[in-house]
A and B are shown apart, each in its own frame.
Chain A
């Protein structure tokens, strides 16, 4: 071993703390026989202690431990049965929400299966028919007046099904229908259903 090799090893030597480390033993022995190296080693050890003292002398800010303790996070306890219950609750809640949304969507749908059909039956004044069960030739004049004045009109088929008659969106068809009050006609139109009420949007009226 020469001085350079010994210095390279002793560069890491910190003093008594490293005395038991075998990697320094030979180099330390060598330093004993080389006064210049010994002096260098003493200076290095002093440098080490000086830097160490400065680094260890830095004080933490006052109140740091209290702040750490105060803001300590509460660890999340992994209780698997609780996690399972929570997951089941979320799943059920999500399913119910989905069903409700679907039902609501279904309710709000404006037309169900707008389909063109031909319907044959008696033209009704819906107000008198529903309120007082009035229809037929005896009620024809009343029906004509009511329909002309804007009361809702309908058609009752031979099998007893009743449709509310409407015009195209924004257009009244009551004037035309008033002419056929209590008469049997065939109407071509688009059938639709809202909230259980059948409706026929009139496209063509044929008197039988």
Chain B
């Protein structure tokens, strides 16, 4: 298979997942598209260094997340809030309440979570990955990943519960 065709197939296969990951991290469609493009361009230049073809998806996610953190440090414009070391009590948020939140509200609340915690949380929700795989993608110890997910999840649900979501219309 030619390199061009291989690249095209790779883009078709993963651009959606990468874009959604980027959008959940940045909360911004343009930034998400830029991150997705940049990730594939890094692949075009460095992908040949990858020994194990089976880990392409993980490599792409790792690269996108790394680029996201780099962008955050450079721009320092994504709002973030440090998360308390201890796990807060999990608020009781009914699923139907969350269902009323639209994607933009969800992205806005995700954007208020510290960048280092956002990646693990988004991968936890979006991809069918084991915790070990999430840890590998983010190059973090398993325990760190799990504790970050737990703390970020509590914060996400707490913020969702505090948000004035539209009232469900009676049928």
Alpha-carbon separation in the docked complex, A159 to B18 (Å): 91
Please provide the chain B residues from 97 to 142 with a CB less than 8 Å away from any CB of chain A in the complex. 98-99, 101-103, 106, 122, 124-126, 128, 130-131
Please provide the chain B residues from 8 to 28 with a CB less than 8 Å away from any CB of chain A in the complex. 8, 11-12, 15-16, 19-20, 23-24
Task: Indicate if the CB atoms of B93 and A21 lie closer than 8 Å.
Answer: no
Task: Indicate if the CB atoms of B128 and A55 lie closer than 8 Å.
Answer: no
B10 to chain A, nearest CB (A): 10
Task: Say which residue of A7, A49, A67, A72 sits within 8 Å of B7 (CB atoms).
Answer: A72
Alpha-carbon separation in the docked complex, A34 to B146 (Å): 25
Residues of A within 8 A of B41 (CB): 68, 71-73
B45 at the interface (CB under 8 A from A): yes
A12 and B150 in contact (CB under 8 A), knowing A60-B19, A64-B33, A68-B40? Answer: yes
Task: Indicate if the CB atoms of A12 and B33 lie closer than 8 Å.
Answer: no
Residues of B within 8 A of A54 (CB): 101-103, 106
Residues of B within 8 A of A51 (CB): 98, 106, 125, 156
Task: Indicate if the CB atoms of B11 and A11 lie closer than 8 Å.
Answer: no
User: How many A residues, CB 8 Å from partner?
Assistant: 34
Chain A positions 28 through 65: 1 when the CB is less than 8 Å from some CB of chain B, otherwise 0:
00000000000010010011111110111111110011
Task: Say which residue of A8, A52, A61, A64 sits within 8 Å of B125 (CB atoms).
Answer: A52
Alpha-carbon separation in the docked complex, A49 to B45 (Å): 37
Residues of B within 8 A of A12 (CB): 124, 131, 146, 149-150, 153
Task: Say which residue of B11, B94, B99, B146 sits within 8 Å of A69 (CB atoms).
Answer: B11
A24 to chain B, nearest CB (A): 11
B136 to chain A, nearest CB (A): 15
B117 to chain A, nearest CB (A): 14
Task: Indicate if the CB atoms of A56 and B126 lie closer than 8 Å.
Answer: yes
A183 at the interface (CB under 8 A from B): no
Residues of B within 8 A of A208 (CB): none
Alpha-carbon separation in the docked complex, A69 to B99 (Å): 36
**Shortest Cβ distance from A14 into B: residue:** B124
Task: Say which residue of A7, A49, A60, A76 sits within 8 Å of B16 (CB atoms).
Answer: A60
Task: Indicate if the CB atoms of B126 and A50 lie closer than 8 Å.
Answer: no
Task: Indicate if the CB atoms of B95 and A65 lie closer than 8 Å.
Answer: no
A131 at the interface (CB under 8 A from B): no
Alpha-carbon separation in the docked complex, A60 to B103 (Å): 13
Task: Indicate if the CB atoms of B153 and A43 lie closer than 8 Å.
Answer: no
Residues of A within 8 A of B163 (CB): none
| Given contact pairs A55-B106, A58-B20, a sample of 16 additional A-B residue pairs in the complex whose CB atoms are under 8 Å apart | A8-B150, A11-B87, A12-B150, A21-B131, A50-B98, A50-B99, A51-B106, A52-B126, A54-B103, A60-B15, A68-B11, A68-B15, A68-B41, A71-B37, A72-B4, A73-B45
Contact residues of B with A, CB < 8 Å? Answer: 3-4, 7-8, 11-12, 15-16, 19-20, 23-24, 29, 33, 36-37, 40-41, 44-45, 48, 87, 90, 92-95, 98-99, 101-103, 106, 122, 124-126, 128, 130-131, 146, 149-150, 153-154, 156-157
Question: What are 10 of the A-B contact pairs (CB < 8 Å)?
Answer: A12-B124, A12-B149, A43-B95, A54-B106, A61-B33, A64-B33, A64-B37, A69-B8, A73-B41, A73-B44
Contact residues of A with B, CB < 8 Å? Answer: 7-8, 11-12, 14, 17, 21, 40, 43, 46-52, 54-61, 64-65, 67-69, 71-73, 75-76
